Chain A
Amino acid sequence: MSFFDIMQMCIRNLYRRKGRTALTVSGVIIGCCAIVIMVSLGIGMKQAQDQMLAQMGNLTRITVTPSPAKDAHKTLLDKKAVKQMGQLPDVTSAIVKNTLDLGELQLTAGEKNRFQNASATIIGIPEKDLEKMGYTLTDGKYPKNRAFEVLAGQHFAYQFTDSRRPEGKNVVDYWDNEDAKPFFKAMGTELSVAEKKQKKTSEPGENQTASSVAEWKEIQKLKIVGQLKENYDAGEETGSGLIMRLSDMEKLQKQIQKISGQKKAKEYSQVVVNVKDIKSVEQVENMVRQMGFQTYSMESIRKPMEKDARQKQMMLGGLGAISLLVAAIGIANTMIMSITERTREIGIMKAVGCFLGDIRKEFLLEAAAIGFLGGSIGILLSYLVSWLMNHISSLAPGGGDMDMMAAGGMDMMGGGSTVMSVIPLWLAGFALLFSVFMGVAAGYYPANKAVKISALEAMKS
């Protein structure tokens, strides 16, 4: 018996009992739809979570800081340690990110040091690593040629106070007013690292204008050659900080130490370790900790969230699986009914010389066809339901995604809104395959039962 004939017979038998076939198929549709929607919700949840985490920071980045221990034997976060970290498995780079302590010094700009900034974050990064930090230049270029060329964060210029304006009006409030222009344009500006020398005045009334009478001793000129786009993922220095080459910073540090009498720092304040993929983060982080340093990464947040998501996914999938199981029982029941009804026909087929294998195939194919039909329609329906759910959830802004919005933080939500339900192609394919497989499995017992029918008994009835 050719496969085509078996198939034709199977279609005919299913069609002959349209009502029952339709009911059984609808059972599978519901089961398939349930499992697909449930899993798709899980996937949607996971995606939203990943998106949120990505907004919170780079997932493959470990920030290393020195051990807080005060004893003399602790491992120092120095050049040697950085080199060691760079050689750990799965580490793509270990980059020094030193912070300059200005001490009593200030950054000034403009004519006669008119604009002043006493609390600037100044970061030093080795020249060769500057371009690996993931910064985005909006203007200018990376420092290359001359010494003491620096990069400024997006809002760097807003950090200055204008000493010629009265208190209360001497800063530009860009938090509340995004359109506000800073006092000067950062790009191309020459800054000074300067020491403020208070002039001794006898008149007490003149204290208010002390700054205007202050004298400045310039220690080092800095030239802003590039401006960065703010990106907390790359580092908060891209916001209001200043970035210079580590070599320049070390020279500057020496000058500052001469003036303030600070001791030479033995350690870097921070090292950034980039890891190849998320999976290795935990392992690398542990190794760095064992070296004796403090670490921070998104892993500590991601891990429990991932576990939670997996649990929810399992629960959702389990609920779907139950309905599919019920559908499977439905298929088995339908097939058994069908066999009881068709006992006589099976007997005739046997007597006329039908191979047992062909009878078995015919029944298995019928069950598989029910699974396939239910699966296909179920998947189409799932896409529809999924689309509806996403549509409705996006109509009610915030709705279920409220907490994520909050955690995602402020204005960084930018890239695409999250969806509730996601049906990737593999899920659709898997659901279809699973429905067919389930049909075959459910049809197995009935098919064997059909094969065992005695032709003799069947003909008597």
Chain B
Amino acid sequence: MQEAMIKICGVRKVYRIGTEKVIALDRIDADIQKGEICCIFGTSGSGKSTLLNQLAGMEKPTEGKIVIDSVDITKLREEKMAAFRQKHIGFIFQSYNLLPYMTALENTALPLMFQGYGKKEREARAARLLKMVGLGERLSHYPSQMSGGQQQRVGIARAFAANPDVIFADEPTGNLDTKTTAQIMEMVLAFARENRQTIVLVTHDPEMASYADRILTLIDGNIVKDERKDKK
């Protein structure tokens, strides 16, 4: 059996609001394998967003450790974390989070630019990705000139631009209609399966959860259910 892509060991996160302690994550243990499409499912307040933030290295857990691709990211300093994120992590956000003053092409190439790739190289790759998500005609459009679905497709292209090992998707279709949701999800899954990339999908929508291979259900900071779907 190969080493898990993401290992979550006894992660606990406690926020201090004034004098009161709020336990967001009680104790989380889980392994996520390479190539797995894993859904973290829970209602609002269940701690699923907090868990995502810990996994993506945006916050440090109060206790426990998170190992991604054999690197303990809870021990990485901010600068190292940025470098790690560049190589290993992609993000898809609910609100797309594109830079408004950059074109679709530039937004897609952003992670590559941060890594120091030259303009030609990174934009060639970005253009290819945008064609794959069906935006080949809109390379030089700005986010404000595109629909939500189109913007999210740029977001997907950006997430895959640096060919990361893990992609975190936080309610990626929360702002989209059902038809577009299906398109977007199919697209993400197709990309991931092609390169055996791991997807961590965070949602409160059971419909969305059905796209995943595995569903971790979170209630009050604990994993209460871990179901696997049989692969076809």
A interface, CB within 8 angstroms of B:
1-2, 5, 12-13, 16, 344-345, 347-358, 454-456, 459
| Partner among A12, A13, A347, A353 whose Cβ is within 8 Å of the Cβ of B86 | A353
Q: How far is the CB of B123 from chain A (nearest CB, A)?
A: 12
Knowing A345-B99, A459-B97 touch, does A353 contact B111 (C-beta < 8 A)? yes
Q: Are A12 and B82 in contact (CB under 8 A)?
A: no
Contacts of B53 in A (CB 8 A): 456
Cβ–Cβ < 8 Å partners of A1 in chain B: 113-116
Q: A1-B116, A356-B79, A357-B79 are in contact. Are A351 and B101 (CB under 8 A)?
A: no
Nearest to A6 among chain B residues (CB) is: B113
Contact indicator B82/A353 (Cβ below 8 Å)? yes
Distance in angstroms from B160 CB to nearest chain A CB is 12
Tally of contacts, chain A with chain B, CB under 8 A: 62
Q: Which 7 A-B pairs have CB atoms at the shortest separation, nearest pair first?
A: A353-B86, A353-B85, A354-B114, A348-B97, A456-B58, A355-B82, A353-B114
Docked complex: B109-126 residues within 8 A CB-CB of A? 110-111, 113-116, 118-119
Contact-residue bracket for chain B: 20 to 34
Q: How far is the CA of A351 from the CA of B100 in the complex (A)?
A: 16
Give 14 pairs: A residue, B residue, CB < 8 Å, sorted on A: A2-B118, A13-B101, A16-B101, A348-B99, A349-B99, A350-B82, A351-B56, A351-B58, A351-B97, A352-B111, A353-B111, A356-B78, A358-B114, A459-B93
For the complex formed, measure the closest distance between the CB of A267 and the CB atoms of chain B, giving whole angstroms. Answer: 82
Whether, in the assembled complex, B48 has its beta carbon less than 8 Å from a beta carbon of chain A, the answer is no
B78 and A352 contacting across the interface, CB-CB below 8 Å? no
Q: Decide: A5 near B79, CB < 8 A? Known: A351-B91, A351-B97, A456-B58.
A: no
Residues of A within 8 A of B83 (CB): 353, 355
Question: Smallest Cβ distance from B209 to chain A, in angstroms?
Answer: 22
Question: CA separation between A349 and B110, bound complex, in Å?
Answer: 8
Cβ distance B88 to chain A, nearest Cβ, rounded Å: 9
Give B66-118 interface residues, CB cut-off 8 Å to A: 78-79, 82-83, 85-86, 89, 91, 93, 95, 97-101, 110-111, 113-116, 118
Q: Which chain A residue shows the least CB distance to B122?
A: A5
Instruction: Check if B153 is an interface residue, CB within 8 A of chain A.
Output: no
How far does the alpha carbon of A94 sit from the alpha carbon of B94 in the complex, in Å?
A: 91
On chain A, the residues within 8 Å of B85 by CB distance are: 351-353
Contacts of B101 in A (CB 8 A): 12-13, 16
